[in-house]
A = this chain, B = another copy of it.
């Protein structure tokens, strides 16, 4: 675990202790389970986003995709009667295809990631809304899918399965990002794509793969979100989720310039954000301030991190100066 991740972890613990001191109900198992469920949902999104950010890209269409895939999934299994073990992989594949298209536009046609995915943000939301004619997609009363519900919204010994899914995904993705050749290429491309190309790396394929991973994880998390809310109004569902995902990754040390960041950081970033949301509700802070608290803490965190590194560098230099005298 890097110094940066450790700092974040400490911040999370400190905030947790303070909140628990003010309102001990924070530590109730039910609250921890609720929060870790949301951590699971948003964490999967953040990991997907992290893979794109590491290449120096960005994926802004995440929120709209959560709406579109959610609508499609619920429509398929609730209205069209498709069996969920068919619908689920279908949606995941669709996520991969969307990622493929984004990656292709970015890597092959050399369009800017911000532009491609901004258009995605607009288009997918429009499509989702058009698909339901601005109505809501949801389950009819009494429509139940016990095994699917257990897998997505259920708990295992009190631990939400979505959280377990996050842990598994994070572990796998940690190996991919930090131990595999693919991961190493991602870092290289993020730092200097041109030079990576000169090293004989198929940069296009790697970049496309990053977007595919993001698409797949987004689709997966869209299904989790759908099964959590069980109802999706496509006009608002998932709005700003891309910002949550990006904020989590950035809090976790990812640089939007690419080539920097650790997977543990992205997960911890999500934990902090969800802890903050929980805190606002638990401490009775006006919900209008929810956003402000989140923004304030991110800014503070990033500033402290920045100042802390600067301070450490200075101290190191001063140390060296003292020793050599």
Contacts of A257 in B (CB 8 A): 112
- A114 to B58 alpha-carbon distance, docked (Å): 11
The answer to whether the Cβ of A89 comes within 8 Å of any Cβ in the partner chain is no
- A134 to B291 alpha-carbon distance, docked (Å): 13
**Is B288 within 8 A of A118, CB to CB?**
no
With A119-B296, A296-B123 as given contacts, are A303 and B130 in contact (CB-CB < 8 Å)?
A: no
Contacts of A125 in B (CB 8 A): 291-292
This chain: copies in complex:
2
With A123-B295, A126-B293, A295-B123 as given contacts, are A118 and B286 in contact (CB-CB < 8 Å)?
A: no
Contacts of A103 in B (CB 8 A): none
The answer to whether the Cβ of A246 comes within 8 Å of any Cβ in the partner chain is yes
What are some 30 contacts across the A-B interface (CB < 8 A)?
Answer: A109-B303, A109-B306, A109-B307, A111-B303, A111-B306, A112-B255, A114-B246, A114-B250, A115-B256, A115-B302, A118-B243, A118-B246, A118-B250, A119-B298, A121-B295, A122-B294, A122-B298, A123-B291, A123-B299, A126-B291, A126-B293, A127-B292, A129-B289, A129-B291, A130-B286, A130-B288, A130-B289, A133-B286, A133-B288, A134-B287
Q: How large is the interface on A (under 10, 10 to 19, 20 to 34, 35 or more residues)?
A: 35 or more
Contact with B along A251-279 (1 / 0, CB 8 A): 00001110000000000000000000000
The answer to whether the Cβ of A3 comes within 8 Å of any Cβ in the partner chain is no
**Is A126 within 8 A of B306, CB to CB?**
no
Contact with B along A112-145 (1 / 0, CB 8 A): 1011101111110111011001100000000000
Closest partner residue, chain B, to A290 (CB atom):
B126
**Is B292 within 8 A of A130, CB to CB?**
yes
State the Cβ distance, A122 to closest chain B Cβ, in Å: 3
Q: Which 4 A-B pairs have the closest CB atoms?
A: A126-B292, A122-B295, A129-B288, A123-B295
The answer to whether the Cβ of A186 comes within 8 Å of any Cβ in the partner chain is no
Closest partner residue, chain B, to A61 (CB atom):
B295
Which of A296, A299, A303 has the largest number of chain B CB atoms within 10 A? A299
The answer to whether the Cβ of A247 comes within 8 Å of any Cβ in the partner chain is yes
Contacts of A126 in B (CB 8 A): 288-293, 295
With A123-B296, A130-B289, A295-B126 as given contacts, are A306 and B250 in contact (CB-CB < 8 Å)?
A: no
Contacts of A286 in B (CB 8 A): 130, 133-134
Contact of A119 among B255, B287, B299 (CB under 8 A): B299
